[in-house]
Chain A
Amino acid sequence: MEKSRRRFLKVAGITALGVGAKPTWDVLASDSSHDASQPKVKKGDKALSAEQWAMVIDTRKFTSEEDLHPIIEACHKTHNVPDFLDEEHEDYKPANKRHEIKWIWPEEYKHAFPSLENHHVNDRVKALPFLVMCNHCENPACVKACPTKATFKRDDGIVLMDFHRCIGCRFCMAACPYGSRSFNFRDPRPYIKDRNPEFPTRMKGVVEKCNFCAERLAVGKMPACVEASNGAIAFGDLNDHESEVSKWLSENFTIRRKPGLGTGPALYYIV
């Protein structure tokens, strides 16, 4: 009796181990991501597509932080980004600063480009706020770090987040050299003023960031920040020579953030 119970437990244990290890084994055994049997998602008729999406910001068209507010607001409204720093909110505390969530925000030159430090940069650039956001890198450090593929790079170059898969380990935040990622330290919903029903709100415990408006591109719209920028931001296919971004890039000298790291940002700045 004792023996057979032991035997049963042994077999049950080994079986459980095998079932648990199956997905891990699969991934080590072969690359299953290019399996022909995988279902494909059909694109919408109006969907915009590209080989490599890219953005160019013409900072010459901005003079002060006031110019950036409509752009930031358009983005944050579209994507239900909570405002923990709203002093009029009934539960506002200064400590909310720690929980701040931002997809796109202004930084001074020395903060946006710390590796291009220049104390003698001209007064215009010194006073100019630079819009920063996720760079949708060609070689994204965050995607490499994520242990669940909750953050991944699409074929068109957009780096996306699966809010339902993210376990909230924040390895991607440590990996991102641009500080582009935010974590939901608490439930964000009470701090969203006007909820946009066309984009999901998030729950506590997951990471989020700019998504290059993938949900708008899918229905033929340009990113919200581009639309709100009055022509100061160009967006398009880097590999299409006729696209606006390609034209802007060929006509102007542009810089990228921390180019020495090899991450290959898809975000360019005309200074």
Chain B
Amino acid sequence: MLEIAFKGSKKYYGWILALLGVIGAAGLCYIWQFVYGLGITGMSRDVSWGFYIAQFTFLVGVAAGGVMLVLPYYLHDYKAFGKITILGEFLAVSAICMCLMFIIADLGQPMRAFNVLLHPTPKSMLFWDMIVLNGYLILNIVIGWKVLEAERNSAPPPAWIKPLIYLSIPWAFGIHTVTAWLYCGLPGRGFWLTAILAPRFLASAFAAGPAFLLLLVFLIRKITKFDAGTKAIRTLSKIITYALIANVFFFVCEVFVAMYSGIPEHMDHLTYLFFGLHGHGVLVPWMWASMILMVISIILLVNPITRNNESILALTCVLLFIGTWIDKGMGMISGGFVPSPTHHVSEYVPTCPELIITLGIWCTGFLILTILYKIVVTVKEEGMA
């Protein structure tokens, strides 16, 4: 099937070339980082994780979000999603690839990455994260590929694929749960030390992932003959609505516990993010923007008139995606490091090369996504012809 990816229009090749251009620039920056060290980033002794790990965390969510199509179709026989589960699975593949690249980009000694396999440490949550992420990647590649191949050959998919599909559903919840456990099991970081972190991660994942998928569905409908169908779009928009409300609700629960209890170790991080602490507050406008974007999205999603208007729905998905990205991709990680364990406020701002490397990894993800979706859409179009 892979040969399909090579037969495209000029626009298709132009897009791929543009992505490769950014990836090339990012590759040069990465070589610089590889030679000099992580000192070219804005990270510091106090804020020792930054943009890379934040993107990783957000994208695990996007990957897990695909399950919101797979679960209704395979467990509830919700047929409207039958045509597009493959989009969810391949979105997961590209998102997980980005996650793995962000982890590698964040390592001080990437050449030693396989030490995680040579000296396996089950007590470390990172060990389990490696297992769940790679497992989810393989599951989605195998499932997506086999089901699509069967569709192309107008044959039913092989029987052994069914158990793998059922396994992939709890596995999707697993990847984001384990990712949250990376953070919420650390004794000295009050911001993350909360049992609601994994549920909150999942809620924001099930809003951001499907919202991104909806945008892709709209885009595909515009540039190809493949239409996901109004019924699927409407159901998906309702799933996004509930997930986003749950996300904001969990956040309110978190704010209540931290602020009402008044325990400084939990409260100070939120104060820093939303009001600034000891005169430092680079993230304050971002955090408020994130909250406002999410609240506007909820209003537009709850109202059936705006939700069922596809242009407004598309705009809402953009707002929601940016809102959840700021929340998780910016605030969640550096917010946990400020103030530091010794209660010093050192702020973190990503540097230019750091941003270019980040952009490059996103573009690599888009490249994988473009190729996979190109194959999907061509197979679907062949089927219609």
**Most chain B beta carbons < 10 A, residue from A117, A169, A186:** A169
Question: Looking at the complex, which one of A99, A111, A146 makes contact with B121 (CB distance below 8 Å)?
Answer: A146
What is the 8 Å Cβ interface bit string for chain B, positions 32-49, against chain A (1 contact, 0 not)?
000011110111111011
Given the interface pairs A141-B186, A146-B124, A183-B38, the reply to whether A23 lies near B119 with Cβ below 8 Å is: yes
- Which A residues touch B49, using CB under 8 A? 170, 174
The A-contacting residues of B in range 335-360, CB under 8 angstroms, are 336-337, 340-344
What is the 8 Å Cβ interface bit string for chain B, positions 309-352, against chain A (1 contact, 0 not)?
00000000000000000000000000011001111100000000
Say whether B109 faces chain A, with CB atoms less than 8 Å apart: yes
Contact A204 B188 (CB under 8 A): no
CB distance from B366 to the nearest CB of A (A): 26
- Which A residues touch B126, using CB under 8 A? 145, 147, 169, 171
- Which B residues touch A147, using CB under 8 A? 116, 121, 124, 126-127, 130
Say whether B120 faces chain A, with CB atoms less than 8 Å apart: yes
15 CB < 8 A contacts A-B: A112-B342, A117-B264, A167-B108, A169-B107, A170-B106, A170-B108, A174-B48, A175-B187, A179-B46, A179-B341, A185-B43, A205-B107, A205-B108, A261-B187, A263-B187
- Which B residues touch A263, using CB under 8 A? 187
What is the 8 Å Cβ interface bit string for chain B, positions 211-252, against chain A (1 contact, 0 not)?
000000000000000000000000000000000000000000
| CA of A261 to CA of B44, assembled, Å | 24
CB distance from B45 to the nearest CB of A (A): 5
B contact residues, range? 35 or more
CB distance from A28 to the nearest CB of B (A): 7
Contact A132 B109 (CB under 8 A): no
What is the 8 Å Cβ interface bit string for chain A, positions 234-263, against chain B (1 contact, 0 not)?
000000000000000000000000100111
| CA of A32 to CA of B115, assembled, Å | 17
Say whether B149 faces chain A, with CB atoms less than 8 Å apart: no
Given the interface pairs A141-B186, A170-B49, A206-B108, the reply to whether A110 lies near B120 with Cβ below 8 Å is: no
| CA of A184 to CA of B124, assembled, Å | 22
**Most chain A beta carbons < 10 A, residue from B45, B113, B122:** B45
Question: Looking at the complex, which one of A179, A184, A207 makes contact with B342 (CB distance below 8 Å)?
Answer: A179
> Which applies to chain B's interface (DSSP): helix, strand, loop or mixed?
loop
- Which A residues touch B119, using CB under 8 A? 23, 148-150, 165
Closest to A177 in B: B188
- Which A residues touch B278, using CB under 8 A? none
Question: Looking at the complex, which one of B112, B183, B342 makes contact with A178 (CB distance below 8 Å)?
Answer: B342
CB distance from B202 to the nearest CB of A (A): 21
| CA of A141 to CA of B342, assembled, Å | 16
CB distance from B347 to the nearest CB of A (A): 11
Contact A148 B342 (CB under 8 A): no
- Which B residues touch A176, using CB under 8 A? 188, 341
List residues of chain B with CB under 8 Å of any chain A CB.
Answer: 36-39, 41-46, 48-49, 103, 106-110, 112-113, 115-127, 130, 182-183, 186-189, 264-265, 336-337, 340-344
- Which A residues touch B37, using CB under 8 A? 184-187, 204-205
Say whether A200 faces chain B, with CB atoms less than 8 Å apart: no
CB distance from A16 to the nearest CB of B (A): 12
| CA of A100 to CA of B45, assembled, Å | 7
**Most chain B beta carbons < 10 A, residue from A23, A28, A185:** A185
The B-contacting residues of A in range 72-128, CB under 8 angstroms, are 97-102, 107, 110-112, 114-115, 117
Closest to A185 in B: B39
Contact A111 B107 (CB under 8 A): no
Contact A148 B116 (CB under 8 A): yes
- Which B residues touch A184, using CB under 8 A? 37, 108
| CA of A171 to CA of B183, assembled, Å | 9
Contact A98 B45 (CB under 8 A): yes
CB distance from A31 to the nearest CB of B (A): 10
Given the interface pairs A98-B39, A98-B45, A185-B37, the reply to whether A145 lies near B120 with Cβ below 8 Å is: no
Say whether A182 faces chain B, with CB atoms less than 8 Å apart: yes
| CA of A173 to CA of B109, assembled, Å | 15
Contact B187 A262 (CB under 8 A): yes
| CA of A39 to CA of B109, assembled, Å | 28
Say whether A38 faces chain B, with CB atoms less than 8 Å apart: no
CB distance from B255 to the nearest CB of A (A): 22
Contact A258 B188 (CB under 8 A): yes
- Which A residues touch B116, using CB under 8 A? 147-148, 167
Contact B124 A167 (CB under 8 A): no
Say whether A144 faces chain B, with CB atoms less than 8 Å apart: yes
Say whether A24 faces chain B, with CB atoms less than 8 Å apart: yes
- Which A residues touch B336, using CB under 8 A? 174
Closest to B125 in A: A145
Contact B117 A23 (CB under 8 A): yes
- Which B residues touch A207, using CB under 8 A? 108
**Most chain B beta carbons < 10 A, residue from A167, A177, A183, A204:** A167
CB distance from B169 to the nearest CB of A (A): 24
Say whether A166 faces chain B, with CB atoms less than 8 Å apart: yes
Contact B188 A178 (CB under 8 A): yes
- Which A residues touch B112, using CB under 8 A? 148, 165-168
Given the interface pairs A258-B188, A261-B188, A262-B187, the reply to whether A149 lies near B121 with Cβ below 8 Å is: yes
Say whether A231 faces chain B, with CB atoms less than 8 Å apart: no
Closest to B190 in A: A177
CB distance from A181 to the nearest CB of B (A): 8
Interchain residue pairs A-B with the least CB separation, the first 10: A168-B108, A177-B188, A205-B108, A185-B39, A204-B37, A98-B44, A186-B39, A147-B126, A186-B37, A147-B124
Other contacts beyond A165-B119, A167-B116: 19, CB < 8 A: A27-B121, A27-B122, A111-B342, A141-B188, A148-B116, A150-B119, A165-B115, A166-B109, A168-B38, A168-B107, A169-B103, A170-B106, A171-B124, A173-B48, A179-B342, A182-B45, A185-B38, A206-B108, A262-B187
CB distance from B354 to the nearest CB of A (A): 12
CB distance from A222 to the nearest CB of B (A): 27
